[in-house]
Chain A
Amino acid sequence: MRDALLQAVLFAQETTTTAEEDEGSLIDVVPGLMVWTVVTFLVVLWVLRRFAFRRIQAMIDQRRDRIREALDEADKARAEARELRELVAREREEAKADRERILDESRRQAQRQLDQAREQADADLKERLEKNREELEAENARLREQIRRDVVELTLLASEKVTGKVLDDDDQRRLIDETIAEVDVKRIASEN
């Protein structure tokens, strides 16, 4: 261990001395080497610029363009989808409004038809009632006329039998008029 440490000290001294002696070799500037460095670097620069950088830059630009186009297309598609969505929503709203309108219209129409039917039924009923009433009145009138005629005939017959003579036209008319005036036809009709 001691020997090793001693050797290390000696080596350090030797290396320092050698480094000092050869210091010039490490930091010497060699023009020829500088020329070779510059020439080689310029060749590298020329080749890379011409054969590598341009190609990869073109490829990157091309991809950027493609990505930009794809993004534009995506934006366009998104806008179209939004428009479509808005259109569908608008159409749905319109359809809903149409449905409501049609339903209202149908309801109104049904109500109207119902009202019409009701009115028609009422009118029919009224008409029928009126007709019945008219028929009844006509029948009444006919019956009254019949009764009157019967009464007149009976009266004439009774008068002829009581008086024992045949009545002329003036007597008959006068007798009829008097009888009619005395007879309450309505009461008779109602009693019948």
Chain B
Amino acid sequence: MSVLFAAAESDFDPQHEFILEEWIPLHLGPLDLSVNKAVAYIWLGGLLTILLGIWLMRFGLSLRPDRRQTTGEAIYEAVQEQIAESSIPSKALHIWFPYVASLFLFIWVLNIVGFVPLPISNDKFDAFGVELPTLGIYAATANLSVTLALALLTFGATHVEGIRYNGVVRYFKSWIPEGAPKPLLALIVPLEVISQFMRLISLSVRLFANMLAGHMLILVMLGLIFIFSAWWLVPFSVGFGLVIYLFEVGIVVTIQAFVFALLSGIYIGAAIEPEH
């Protein structure tokens, strides 16, 4: 919406929504921990994840579940069976199931919140003399720093667990395929090392790019109306924007959270039991 207001002023730019202005300056030495829109969305997403998890999975539980508890159990068991048990060895399940489950819920909530118009924006509008923030849609997961941070957690967990369960030598030896000819090792080893880092990139960029693309498309579709000031575009822009919006909310949001959590589980599981 703030984009639309901006568009109305003929300076429409879809990237405008993704600019992070410093709201509360906070510097810890060289580290800039200032609070901005992305941090606010991260906090909001974290809070909502906690509230959702506790609401669905803690209070009023009984052996004969009501609809709320059934939903909670369905989500819990889906994550357990479809993500954790299919990727993590049973000996490490008790440690890493909560991680992948939390990852799934956290990313899912961040993605969903990203499609809800909220008054968390850099832009303001005047309503009867009072300056209020304009409604806007913004996804924290459409920021590479956020997805990279989560991917780094998985990356770190993967190698820590790989070394913990297998020992340093056996773990790093597991990167090299069995029976590989020695002359080819000079080629294989760098490739394997690179592939480990490529996982990090693929994990973070997949989520970031998907969310960014979805938001960009929706914003561009709606912005076209104001850019061209052509009302005949309204049905097409709104219709196409709505289709993209529903596609993103109905499918992409959940799939991306699922893929991120599943790949995290697979990487960690493969490190714990490299032979599988």
Q: Check A55–B57 contact: CB distance below 8 A.
A: yes
Given known contacts A30-B145, A33-B146, is B99 in contact with A45 (CB within 8 Å)? Answer: yes
Chain B interface category by residue count: 35 or more
> Are B101 and A53 within 8 A (Cβ)?
yes
| Residues of chain B within 8 A of A34, CB atoms compared | 145-146, 148-149, 152
Q: Say yes or no: is A191 at the interface (Cβ < 8 Å to chain B).
A: no
Is there an interface contact between A37 and B15, defined as CB atoms closer than 8 Å? Answer: no
Assuming the A-B contacts A35-B31, A36-B33, A45-B99, are A52 and B54 also in contact, with contact meaning beta carbons closer than 8 angstroms in the complex? yes
- B113, CB-defined interface residue at 8 Å: no
Interface centre among A18, A37, A47, A51 (most CB of B within 10 A): A37
The answer to whether A55 and B58 have CB atoms under 8 Å apart is yes
User: DSSP majority for the B interface?
Assistant: helix
- Across the A-B interface, how many residue pairs have beta carbons closer than 8 Å? 151
Residue pair A8, B14 in contact (C-beta under 8 Å): no
Q: How far is the CA of A52 from the CA of B53 in the complex (A)?
A: 6
A41/B63 in contact, CB under 8 A: no
> Does A59 reach chain B (CB closer than 8 Å)?
yes
CA distance A173 to B31 in the complex (A): 178
- How far, in whole Å, are A28 and B208 apart by their CA atoms in the complex? 12
What residues of chain A lie closer than 8 Å to B106, measured between beta carbons?
Answer: 41, 44
A13 within 8 A of B: no
Q: Known pairs A36-B39, A47-B53. 15 more at Cβ < 8 A?
A: A4-B228, A22-B15, A26-B144, A28-B144, A32-B31, A33-B38, A33-B143, A38-B153, A41-B102, A43-B50, A48-B102, A49-B102, A53-B57, A53-B98, A56-B58
Contact surface of A with B, Cβ cutoff 8 Å: 4, 7-8, 11, 15, 18-19, 22, 25-38, 40-41, 43-45, 47-49, 51-53, 55-57, 59-60, 62-63, 66
Question: Which 5 residue pairs are nearest across A and B when measured between Cβ atoms?
Answer: A34-B149, A37-B149, A56-B57, A52-B57, A40-B46
What residues make up the interface of B, taking CB atoms closer than 8 Å to A?
Answer: 12-15, 18-20, 26, 31-34, 36, 38-39, 42-43, 45-46, 49-50, 53-54, 56-58, 61-63, 69, 72-73, 76-77, 97-99, 101-103, 105-106, 140, 143-146, 148-150, 152-153, 212, 220, 224, 227-228, 230, 233
